[in-house]
Protein backbone atom coordinates (compact mmCIF):
# COMPACT_ATOMS: atom_id res chain seq x y z
CA UNK A 1 0.00 0.00 0.00
CA UNK A 2 1.51 3.28 -1.12
CA UNK A 3 1.11 6.43 0.96
CA UNK A 4 0.40 9.36 -1.29
CA UNK A 5 2.38 12.44 -0.34
CA UNK A 6 -0.16 14.87 -1.74
CA UNK A 7 -3.03 13.29 0.20
CA UNK A 8 -0.96 13.23 3.40
CA UNK A 9 -0.07 16.91 2.97
CA UNK A 10 -3.73 17.81 2.51
CA UNK A 11 -4.74 15.83 5.59
CA UNK A 12 -1.96 17.49 7.63
CA UNK A 13 -3.31 20.92 6.63
CA UNK A 14 -6.87 19.93 7.47
CA UNK A 15 -5.88 18.50 10.86
CA UNK A 16 -3.97 21.72 11.60
CA UNK A 17 -7.01 23.84 10.76
CA UNK A 18 -9.45 21.65 12.70
CA UNK A 19 -7.17 21.60 15.75
CA UNK A 20 -6.97 25.39 15.85
CA UNK A 21 -10.70 25.77 15.24
CA UNK A 22 -11.35 23.47 18.20
CA UNK A 23 -8.76 25.32 20.29
CA UNK A 24 -10.20 28.76 19.52
CA UNK A 25 -13.75 27.69 20.37
CA UNK A 26 -12.79 25.69 23.47
CA UNK A 27 -10.56 28.45 24.80
CA UNK A 28 -13.29 31.03 24.23
CA UNK A 29 -15.73 28.92 26.22
CA UNK A 30 -13.24 28.12 29.00
CA UNK A 31 -12.15 31.75 29.42
CA UNK A 32 -15.72 33.04 29.02
CA UNK A 33 -14.61 35.29 26.19
CA UNK A 34 -17.12 37.99 25.19
CA UNK A 35 -19.31 36.87 22.30
CA UNK A 36 -17.91 39.26 19.68
CA UNK A 37 -14.33 38.31 20.48
CA UNK A 38 -15.26 34.61 20.41
CA UNK A 39 -16.77 35.15 16.96
CA UNK A 40 -13.52 36.75 15.85
CA UNK A 41 -11.54 33.69 16.99
CA UNK A 42 -14.07 31.32 15.42
CA UNK A 43 -13.82 33.35 12.21
CA UNK A 44 -10.06 32.88 12.21
CA UNK A 45 -10.64 29.15 12.61
CA UNK A 46 -12.99 29.20 9.61
CA UNK A 47 -10.32 31.00 7.58
CA UNK A 48 -7.84 28.27 8.55
CA UNK A 49 -10.31 25.58 7.44
CA UNK A 50 -10.97 27.31 4.10
CA UNK A 51 -7.23 27.66 3.46
CA UNK A 52 -6.77 23.98 4.32
CA UNK A 53 -9.57 22.92 1.93
CA UNK A 54 -8.27 24.85 -1.10
CA UNK A 55 -5.54 22.25 -1.91
CA UNK A 56 -8.20 19.55 -2.28
CA UNK A 57 -9.40 21.39 -5.42
CA UNK A 58 -6.38 23.42 -6.56
CA UNK A 59 -3.12 21.89 -5.33
CA UNK A 60 -0.64 24.57 -6.42
CA UNK A 61 -2.81 27.50 -5.35
CA UNK A 62 -3.56 25.79 -2.06
CA UNK A 63 0.12 25.06 -1.49
CA UNK A 64 1.03 28.73 -1.91
CA UNK A 65 -1.87 29.78 0.34
CA UNK A 66 -0.78 27.33 3.04
CA UNK A 67 2.80 28.59 2.97
CA UNK A 68 1.60 32.19 3.03
CA UNK A 69 -0.80 31.44 5.90
CA UNK A 70 1.97 29.77 7.89
CA UNK A 71 4.31 32.71 7.38
CA UNK A 72 1.67 35.34 8.17
CA UNK A 73 0.31 33.53 11.24
CA UNK A 74 3.84 32.87 12.49
CA UNK A 75 4.83 36.50 12.05
CA UNK A 76 1.62 37.75 13.68
CA UNK A 77 2.08 35.43 16.65
CA UNK A 78 5.70 36.48 16.95
CA UNK A 79 4.59 40.10 17.19
CA UNK A 80 1.47 39.67 19.35
CA UNK A 81 2.26 36.62 21.48
CA UNK A 82 1.06 36.82 25.10
CA UNK A 83 3.81 38.43 27.20
CA UNK A 84 2.99 36.30 30.25
CA UNK A 85 3.80 33.10 28.32
CA UNK A 86 7.33 31.80 28.87
CA UNK A 87 9.79 31.37 25.99
CA UNK A 88 9.21 27.61 25.68
CA UNK A 89 5.45 28.07 25.52
CA UNK A 90 5.81 30.75 22.88
CA UNK A 91 8.10 28.57 20.77
CA UNK A 92 5.78 25.55 20.97
CA UNK A 93 2.75 27.66 20.06
CA UNK A 94 4.67 29.37 17.26
CA UNK A 95 5.69 26.00 15.79
CA UNK A 96 2.20 24.48 16.06
CA UNK A 97 0.70 27.55 14.41
CA UNK A 98 3.14 28.00 11.55
CA UNK A 99 5.01 24.77 10.83
CA UNK A 100 2.16 22.45 9.70
CA UNK A 101 0.80 24.72 6.94
CA UNK A 102 4.31 25.55 5.70
CA UNK A 103 5.28 21.86 5.66
CA UNK A 104 2.02 20.88 3.99
CA UNK A 105 2.37 23.55 1.31
CA UNK A 106 6.00 22.63 0.67
CA UNK A 107 5.12 18.95 0.35
CA UNK A 108 2.35 19.76 -2.12
CA UNK A 109 4.66 21.92 -4.21
CA UNK A 110 7.47 19.35 -4.20
CA UNK A 111 5.11 16.50 -5.01
CA UNK A 112 3.50 18.49 -7.83
CA UNK A 113 6.89 19.16 -9.41
CA UNK A 114 8.07 15.56 -9.09
CA UNK A 115 4.78 14.29 -10.56
CA UNK A 116 5.23 16.58 -13.57
CA UNK A 117 8.81 15.36 -14.08
CA UNK A 118 7.86 11.70 -13.91
CA UNK A 119 5.02 12.13 -16.42
CA UNK A 120 7.30 13.77 -19.02
Alpha-carbon gap, residue 26 to 67, rounded angstroms: 26
Count of CA atoms in the C-beta half-sphere (13 A) of 113: 6
Q: What is the mean pLDDT of residues 29-42?
A: 96
How many Cα atoms within 13 Å fall on the side-chain side of residue 111? 18
Please check whether residue 31 is in contact with residue 48, taking contact to mean a CB–CB distance below 8 angstroms: no
- Can you give the residue ranges of every domain in the chain? 5-114
Whether residue 112 is predicted with pLDDT greater than 90 in this model: the reply is no
DSSP 3: P
Using 50, 70 and 90 to split pLDDT, how confident is the model at 117?
A: low
Amino acid sequence: MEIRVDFSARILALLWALFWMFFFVAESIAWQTPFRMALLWAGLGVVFIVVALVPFRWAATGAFLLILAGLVVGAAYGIWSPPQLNRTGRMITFLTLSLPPIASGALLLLHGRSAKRSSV
